[in-house]
């Protein structure tokens, strides 16, 4: 879970790499480093901290000249985040230098062998072992760098996206991929390497995404040579044209990416609908789904696998799929599912949900489901991501790049896609009446307007945040469709503000959490007008009786909860089935403002990374 960047061409490599690393900081930000070839030797700087700290380190001493270089921003796996463990890593001769995103699982046995042969290690990382293994093979076998990388990678177990160069041959960079993403930007006599396309988007729209177990030798003045790491088979490069633009990956006047992404939700939900939801004509048409509808409607059950926020979106879908389409649904943490020998048959459909499309546990769950013969459908945001390629078919959420580490627009667009699928299946199966189907289509179509309306409460929510920002604990309650929203609200608060928060189904409160309630405890209750309204009002009464402080999410015009609650956050009225798309909004804003008031790093909370490519 690190970010890697590289450049070889005719421009100064330093600014390209530094800017690229800043765009990739969402992937990890506990240390950063850069290695440049200055025309005669490698200039290397690295440090614990963020890319700005790296810039300060560079300013202290190295020259930034040169048009070949690699850089790295790290999320530590082996070895604590410190200067020494930061990438790039040199080989013992000082000729080779490497950056690596991933884990070499058998590094310790390789390290022992290399130590026996006289190699000395300066860091605790698996990566330093890999670069020395490459060096040893290069020397011993008398082969070129590309071949040495290939032989070395056939000896390692683990995951990697690597870039390595040799100062004795400074016209090429060798890259390889297994389990971690790697994109190559192709310009005019220049090449860019990165974990995603964002570092090079202003220079070229042409990119090659390496597949797992592929490597490439990128040499100036020659076309890229791609081959399979295991079989040596040459692969013809497939150059894709990217649709991404630079505005999509900049903050656009907002203080944080998270806030920008919260405010983008009306627009991106519309993007998710585009060409797929034709409300007036009563049509939902999802390209990836059409041909596989029989698989879904004849399935014994749907198993949803995901992690974190994506898992919460899956929980919402459990309600819609069962309610409308009458298909049994199980929602599983991918990390548990993959290790517990689950019962899966060819009659099951597995839906994998992932913003990044790179989450290691979700990927492993997909592989397991495929081995057992299930049909696997992916719901991803990142186009071309590993999960989108590993699944049999799927639907993109079209939320655009989500840079803030805490997921916001990814969540609402995932629910949007899942809701469209559930409605479509119910319609095909005939488990929903025509009038109900048409009503939901029209209501779904108005969701972007309702989300925009919910965002208008921002100033009031900010005031509420002021009151509660110093509370050490929060409880979030919701029922039915809004139970997953309570979980998501609590997750948002803890990950960006570091305040402990728990989400609970409101009725479960009596079975334990009620003991926590006293005058210090803020309880955020989703109390919108729904089937459960009366019951939630009773839950609120129970909290009030114990002097808890109530912050309620209510439907516009509500009076009963308003009288009981200490604070309310209003959302427009929608059918209950669609409420998660609007009730989530005030909870995102509440966490955001609390985190800002506490001076937290909202876009890059401590210990987290945007895409969790390790288990």
Active-site residue list: 2, 610
The closest of 482, 590, 489 to 539, measured between CA atoms, is: 482
Report in angstroms how near the CB of residue 402 gets to ligand F6R at its nearest: 8
486 prior amide bond cis, ω within 30? no
DSSP 8-state symbol, 167:
T
Q: Is 25 in the site for ligand F6R (CB under 6 A)?
A: no
Q: Is 309 in the site for ligand F6R (CB under 6 A)?
A: yes
Query: Of residues 102, 308, 314, 448, which one binds ligand F6R by CB under 6 A?
Result: 308
Query: Of residues 125, 310, 579, 613, which one binds ligand F6R by CB under 6 A?
Result: 310
Q: Is 307 in the site for ligand F6R (CB under 6 A)?
A: yes
The residue number whose beta carbon is nearest to ligand F6R equals: 308
Report in angstroms how near the CB of residue 406 gets to ligand F6R at its nearest: 4
Q: Which is nearer to ligand F6R, 332 or 495 (CB)?
A: 495
Please tell me whether residue 63 adopts helix, strand or coil conformation. Answer: coil
Q: Which is nearer to ligand F6R, 91 or 611 (CB)?
A: 611
Q: Which is nearer to ligand F6R, 307 or 351 (CB)?
A: 307
Report in angstroms how near the CB of residue 117 gets to ligand F6R at its nearest: 40
The piece of 78-86, 217-225, 269-277, 351-359 that touches ligand F6R (CB under 6 A) is 351-359
The piece of 92-100, 283-291, 349-357, 512-520 that touches ligand F6R (CB under 6 A) is 349-357
CA-CA distance, 114 to 213, in Å (whole number)? 24
The closest of 615, 604, 614 to 49, measured between CA atoms, is: 604
Radius of gyration of the chain (CA): 26
CB neighbour class for 577 (10 Å; exposed up to 12, middle 13-18, buried from 19): buried
Report in angstroms how near the CB of residue 408 gets to ligand F6R at its nearest: 8
Q: Which is nearer to ligand F6R, 126 or 358 (CB)?
A: 358
Residue 188: CB partners within 8 Å, gap ≥ 6?
A: none
Q: Is 174 in the site for ligand F6R (CB under 6 A)?
A: no
Report in angstroms how near the CB of residue 385 gets to ligand F6R at its nearest: 9
Binding track, positions 258-297, relative to ligand F6R; x by CB under 6 A: ----------------------------------------
Report in angstroms how near the CB of residue 308 gets to ligand F6R at its nearest: 2
Query: C-alpha distances in angstroms, 56 versus 12, 45, 53, 62, 70?
Result: 18, 10, 5, 11, 17
CA-CA distance, 2 to 127, in Å (whole number)? 12
Binding track, positions 391-430, relative to ligand F6R; x by CB under 6 A: ---------------xx-----------------------
Question: What's CA 30's distance to the chain center, in Å?
Answer: 18
Residue 488: CB partners within 8 Å, gap ≥ 6?
A: 309, 312, 411, 503, 584, 587
Q: Which is nearer to ligand F6R, 35 or 365 (CB)?
A: 365
Report in angstroms how near the CB of residue 466 gets to ligand F6R at its nearest: 23
Q: Which residue has 């305040």 as its token pair?
A: 499
Q: Which is nearer to ligand F6R, 138 or 312 (CB)?
A: 312
Q: How many residues bind ligand F6R (CB under 6 A)?
A: 15
Report in angstroms how near the CB of residue 397 gets to ligand F6R at its nearest: 10
Strand ranges in 398-548 using DSSP code E only, listed in sequence order: 473-478, 500-505, 522-526
3-state secondary structure 542-585: HHHHCCCEEEEEEECCCCHHHHHCCEEEEECCCCHHHCHHHHHH
Q: Is 180 in the site for ligand F6R (CB under 6 A)?
A: no
Q: Which helix (H) or strand (E) holds 437?
A: helix 434-455
CA dihedral over 70, 73, 79, 83, signed as positive or negative? positive
Report in angstroms how near the CB of residue 370 gets to ligand F6R at its nearest: 17
Query: Of residues 123, 355, 395, 457, which one binds ligand F6R by CB under 6 A?
Result: 355
CA-CA distance, 611 to 313, in Å (whole number)? 17
Q: Is 356 in the site for ligand F6R (CB under 6 A)?
A: yes
Q: Which is nearer to ligand F6R, 35 or 487 (CB)?
A: 487
Report in angstroms how near the CB of residue 584 gets to ligand F6R at its nearest: 12
Neighbours of 343 (CB within 10 A): 9
The piece of 35-43, 125-133, 356-364, 559-567 that touches ligand F6R (CB under 6 A) is 356-364
Please tell me whether residue 452 adopts helix, strand or coil conformation. Answer: helix
The piece of 22-30, 77-85, 304-312, 436-444 that touches ligand F6R (CB under 6 A) is 304-312
CA-CA distance, 541 to 398, in Å (whole number)? 41
Query: C-alpha distances in angstroms, 305 versus 22, 101, 368, 525, 580?
Result: 31, 24, 11, 27, 19
Q: Which is nearer to ligand F6R, 67 or 310 (CB)?
A: 310
Q: Is 588 in the site for ligand F6R (CB under 6 A)?
A: no
The piece of 79-87, 148-156, 237-245, 355-363 that touches ligand F6R (CB under 6 A) is 355-363
Q: Residues 353, 302: contact at Cβ < 8 Å? A: no
| Footprint (CB under 6 A) of ligand F6R, residues 495-554 | 495
Q: Which is nearer to ligand F6R, 348 or 495 (CB)?
A: 495
Q: Residues 548, 564: contact at Cβ < 8 Å? A: no
Q: Is 354 in the site for ligand F6R (CB under 6 A)?
A: yes
Q: Is 320 in the site for ligand F6R (CB under 6 A)?
A: no
Query: Of residues 359, 412, 416, 529, which one binds ligand F6R by CB under 6 A?
Result: 359
Please tell me whether residue 6 adopts helix, strand or coil conformation. Answer: strand
130: tokens are 């890999």
CA-CA distance, 389 to 377, in Å (whole number)? 10
DSSP 8-state symbol, 179:
B
Residue 468: CB partners within 8 Å, gap ≥ 6?
A: 474, 522, 549, 551, 594
Q: Which is nearer to ligand F6R, 89 or 494 (CB)?
A: 494
Report in angstroms how near the CB of residue 388 gets to ligand F6R at its nearest: 12
| Footprint (CB under 6 A) of ligand F6R, residues 464-493 | 491
Q: Is 611 in the site for ligand F6R (CB under 6 A)?
A: yes
CA-CA distance, 95 to 82, in Å (whole number)? 23
Q: Which is nearer to ligand F6R, 229 or 491 (CB)?
A: 491
- Contacting positions for ligand F6R (CB under 6 A): 307-310, 354-356, 359, 362, 406-407, 491, 495, 611-612
């Amino acid at each position: 879970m690190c970010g890697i960047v590289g450049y070889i061409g005719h421009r100064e490599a330093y600014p390209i790499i530094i800017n690229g690393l800043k765009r990739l900081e969402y992937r990890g930000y506990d240390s950063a480093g850069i290695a440049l070839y200055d025309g005669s030797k490698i200039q290397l700087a690295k440090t614990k901290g963020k890319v700005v700290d790296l810039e300060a380190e560079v300013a202290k001493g190295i020259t930034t000249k040169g048009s070949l270089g690699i850089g790295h921003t790290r999320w530590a796996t082996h070895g604590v985040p410190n200067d020494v463990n930061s990438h790039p890593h040199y080989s013992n001769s000082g000729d080779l230098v490497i950056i690596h995103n991933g884990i070499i699982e058998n590094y310790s046995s390789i390290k022992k062998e290399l130590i026996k042969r006289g190699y000395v290690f300066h860091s605790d990382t698996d990566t330093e072992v890999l670069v020395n293994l490459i060096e040893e093979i290069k020397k011993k076998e008398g082969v070129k760098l590309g071949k040495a990388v290939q032989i070395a990678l056939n000896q390692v177990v683990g995951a990697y996206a690597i870039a390595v160069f040799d100062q004795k041959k400074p016209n090429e960079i060798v890259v390889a991929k297994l389990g971690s993403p790697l994109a190559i930007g192709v310009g005019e006599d220049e090449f860019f390497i990165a974990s995603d396309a964002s570092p090079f988007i202003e220079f070229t729209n042409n990119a090659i995404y390496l597949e797992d177990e592929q490597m490439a030798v990128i040499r100036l003045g020659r076309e890229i040579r791609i081959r399979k790491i295991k079989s040596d088979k040459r692969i013809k490069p497939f150059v894709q044209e990217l649709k991404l633009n630079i505005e999509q990956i900049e903050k656009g006047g907002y203080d944080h990416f998270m806030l920008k992404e919260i405010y983008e939700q009306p627009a991106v939900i519309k993007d998710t609908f585009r060409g797929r939801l034709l409300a007036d004509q009563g049509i939902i048409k999802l390209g990836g789904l059409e041909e596989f509808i029989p698989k879904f409607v004849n399935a014994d059950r749907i198993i949803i696998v995901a992690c974190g926020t994506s898992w919460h979106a899956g929980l919402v879908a459990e309600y819609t799929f069962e309610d409308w389409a009458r298909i049994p649904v199980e929602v599983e943490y991918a990390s548990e599912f993959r290790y517990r020998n689950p019962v899966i048959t060819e009659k099951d459909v597995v839906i994998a949900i992932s913003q990044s499309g790179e989450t290691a546990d979700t990927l492993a769950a997909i592989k397991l489901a495929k081995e057992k013969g299930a049909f696997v459908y992916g719901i991803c945001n990142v186009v071309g991501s590993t999960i989108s390629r590993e699944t049999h078919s799927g639907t993109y959420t079209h939320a655009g790049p989500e840079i803030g580490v805490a997921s916001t627009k990814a969540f609402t667009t995932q629910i949007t896609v899942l809701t469209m699928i559930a409605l479509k299946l119910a319609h095909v199966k005939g488990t929903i009446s025509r009038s109900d189907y048409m009503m939901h289509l029209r209501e779904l179509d108005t969701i972007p307007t309702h989300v925009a309306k919910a965002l208008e409460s921002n100033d009031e929510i900010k005031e509420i945040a002021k009151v509660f920002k110093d509370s050490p604990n929060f409880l979030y309650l919701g029922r039915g469709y809004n139970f997953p929203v309570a979980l998501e609200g609590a997750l948002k608060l803890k990950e960006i503000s570091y305040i402990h928060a728990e989400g609970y189904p409101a009725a479960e409160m009596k079975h334990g959490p009620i003991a926590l309630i006293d005058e210090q405890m803020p309880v955020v209750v989703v109390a919108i007008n729904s089937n459960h309204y009366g019951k939630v009002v009773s839950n609120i009464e129970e909290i009030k009786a114990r002097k808890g402080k109530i912050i309620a999410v209510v439907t516009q015009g509500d009076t009963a909860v308003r009288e009981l609650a200490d604070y309310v956050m209003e959302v427009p009225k929608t059918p209950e089935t669609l409420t998660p798309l609007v009730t989530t909004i005030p909870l995102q804003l509440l966490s955001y403002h609390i985190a800002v008031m506490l001076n937290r790093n909202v876009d890059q909370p401590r210990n987290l990374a945007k895409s969790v490519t390790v288990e």
